[in-house]
Amino acid sequence: MKDLVHSPASTQLSVIVPFRADPSSPYLVERLEGLCKCFKNTREVEFIVIDSGSPTELRKNISSICEENGVRYIHHDTAGQVFSIGAARDYGVTHATGRAVTFLDVDLRFSDDFFDRLVRFMSSYGISRQKKKFFTVPCLYLTQEGTDEFLASCEDQRMLDFYLRWLDGDNHAIQNMAPCSSVMVVDRLHYLSVGGHRPEFRGHGYEDFELYHRLMVEEGALPRARDYYHDTKTWDTATYRGFRSQLSLLGRHAMMANIFVIHLWHPRPRSNSFYANLAANREIWLEFFRKFDSNRQHPSPLVSTGARFGKFIMFGKPRTAPADCLKDVLPILGEVLFVNEQDFVDDEMRLLDADLAALIEQHGVQAMLFPNPYANPARLEVYDWCRRTGFPYLCWERGALPDSWFFDNRGFNFDSASYAEQNWQRDLTSDERSAVIRYINEVLTGANTLERQGLRISGEGLAAKLRVGGRKVLFVPLQRPSDTVIRHFAGGVGSQEAFLEFIDEAAEKLNRRGWVVLCKKHPLESEVPTLQHAQLVPDDTHFIDLLELADAVAVINSGVGVYAAMMGKPCYVFGNAFYAFQGINQCASAVDPAAFCSQVTSSYTVDMERVYQFIHYLRNDFYSFGRPSTKIRQEKDGSLRNITTGIDFYEIRIPGMHPVIYQRPEERRISTGSPLFERFRLDLEQEGNREKIAVRETAVTRRKDKWAAKLRKLFRDPHAFFGDSRVQFLRPLRFAFPRR
């Protein structure tokens, strides 16, 4: 397996130093050498210098400095371009191997035990356990005099000395403290998935702010500061106003843990293009802040150098829902080449395999990614070609369990060898068995379902509501006639229409044997089927209540069959289903109502041990998991379609790679009442008082407006005024005035 991000062999942290030597600033190489000498290599931390566009004559010296100090040297070919510190950092992240990444500029210094404490702090903070958590390390900026004094001292406690002097207000040696610096600590895969820094920011300035803005929105932990788009241009503020006040909170945790770095003074010549772009960057930050708040579009994901494939084909277009859904996965899959499958078939839907082979060779394509290979005839032709020729591919689609998705290199749904019994049939350990039982209980009692459902009322409550009257129940979940699994894997039953006709005939016979057949329409279907003997339940009936009530279940190949197995309900499968196995369910012997009635009434016992083995395999070995963002779209025929617009993956399993596992995401909101907001406490209280006063003033104004309106009505039409009065004894006064 590839040893990638989050693999057992990964280091905890990659420290990336973006660098470019400049002959006009010889101190830069000296600063780099001084920084590299501070690094102490451990198994938990790796150090990388990204040499981005240094002159050829200086490159060898830089490489030697790195080699002498055990630092990885990586050349980034950007000669002739403006030095972009953001681009250099991004390049470093694509080459890093740590679970998390951070950045150090050559002018930064730290205490001897800095990285030991930082790694411990990362662990306590939850970096790389919770995907979206991140923080920054505060930076104490020294003056020129303070820098000279700092470099002249060799005492280990000099970091603490300068920190205390800052607290005492020493303006001679210390310029300022920036609670939010460029030294961020963030999960590496998450950084890659959000695309790192925007390439529009060149040189120095605001590139970090824009990235922090997107990361904060993704995490959603901090309440937004008022007048957020205002730039105070200072960190020294006691008001929670403007984006800098919110950014300052990113470093507050580390500051309270006494984790910080020191920035050495250096000249900033305007002639250097690195600094010359500051004004241009300052002009565009607001546009990108607002744009991201509006569309939530990150730059394209960055790709790890250790990705599964160098380049792969994906059928579709960039910036579409399928592409956006794979934001978290693309960094470890590889560089994507978007292709329209229709370009590789002729008018009669025959594959132009020579053209396809030429494209693969020309672009060095190593694999194909199919979002549902049966989606259209052209895509199916390419999929069949891959299977015939053995060309590597992955099929990607939603799984049968909540939040589940699969990346399958052995087929799609029923046609895949990944579900074969030899992959999952084994004795579980006692811990594995207990864990899968807990998981099944969580699924069956939780609110997370594949499609929207009504409120749970229990099987017993549903029996009373539907007036089952003690009869046995056969539950039949209906599917969508247009679904891939119906069009291609319906088996002997042929179609949804034929299945419904069969079920209705069987219902007539089962009714005479004390059974009732309950059918539930698919939540997204608009067409109501006509049934004479089976009963259609209300649309808002929860399918788990129906399963709880049911004595047996009949499906073509609906995913409800997996839930039936987890609940130990006998399930009869009429189509080709990936979960159809002896002991877990039964394949219907024939599409014959009389034979089926005999099969249902004789029943069987579900082998729960086999169910546990199968669900354990799906949950822990095969499925990936991610929370989808969806929207409902109405089609031309009136039916509804559930469009997945994004997926927040928290477990990723790609064949041939180590799994990426995070904790399941939970909403994290930091209250303004927490100690984190202590600096802004007075401002927040005053703002709260201002809001209360504004509410009271609004109420008073409304009361005044109300009485003013009544007074105007009195003078305009006294007859109506007294006649409409709520005070009964005033109403007769209306007769003293003429009606208008």
| pLDDT averaged over every residue in the chain | 90
Q: What is the pLDDT of residues 225-274, one digit of tens each?
A: 999 999 999 999 999 999 999 999 999 999 999 999 999 998 876 655 55
Taking the CB of residue 500, how many other CB atoms lie within 10 A of it? 19
Q: What is the pLDDT of residues 150-194, one digit of tens each?
A: 999 877 789 999 999 999 999 999 999 999 999 999 999 999 999
Is this prediction's pTM over 0.75?
yes
Taking the CB of residue 83, how many other CB atoms lie within 10 A of it? 22
Q: What is the DSSP letter of 657?
A: B
Spatial contact of 311 and 334, defined as CB atoms under 8 Å apart: yes
Q: What is the pLDDT of residues 691-707, one digit of tens each?
A: 665 556 566 567 667 77
H helices present in 364-483, as ranges: 377-389, 421-424, 430-445, 458-466
Kindly state the tokens that stand for 352. 């132009």
H or E segment at 247? helix 243-248
3-state helix, strand, coil in the chain (%, to 5): 45, 20, 40
- Rounded to whole angstroms, the Cα distance separating 653 from 394 reads 12
Q: What is the pLDDT of residues 214-226, one digit of tens each?
A: 999 999 999 999 9
H or E segment at 56? helix 56-68
Phi and psi based region of residue 99 (left: phi greater than 0; alpha: psi -120 to 50; beta: remaining): alpha
Q: What is the pLDDT of residues 517-565, one digit of tens each?
A: 999 998 877 788 889 999 999 999 999 999 999 999 999 999 999 999 9
State the number of CA atoms in the 13 A half-sphere of 288 facing the CB: 21
| Helix, strand or coil, per DSSP, at residue 404 | strand
- Which residue type sits at 376? N
| CA dihedral over 484, 485, 488, 493, signed as positive or negative | negative
Q: What is the pLDDT of residues 372-391, one digit of tens each?
A: 999 999 999 999 999 999 99
The closest of 645, 566, 585, 676 to 223, measured between CA atoms, is 676
Is 603 a residue whose pLDDT tops 90?
no
- Rounded to whole angstroms, the Cα distance separating 207 from 278 reads 10
- Four-CA torsion 219, 223, 227, 228, nearest 10 degrees: -20
Residue 614: CB partners within 8 Å, gap ≥ 6?
424, 565, 579, 581, 584
Kindly state the tokens that stand for 167. 């607290």
- Rounded to whole angstroms, the Cα distance separating 682 from 155 reads 39
Is 85 a residue whose pLDDT tops 70?
yes
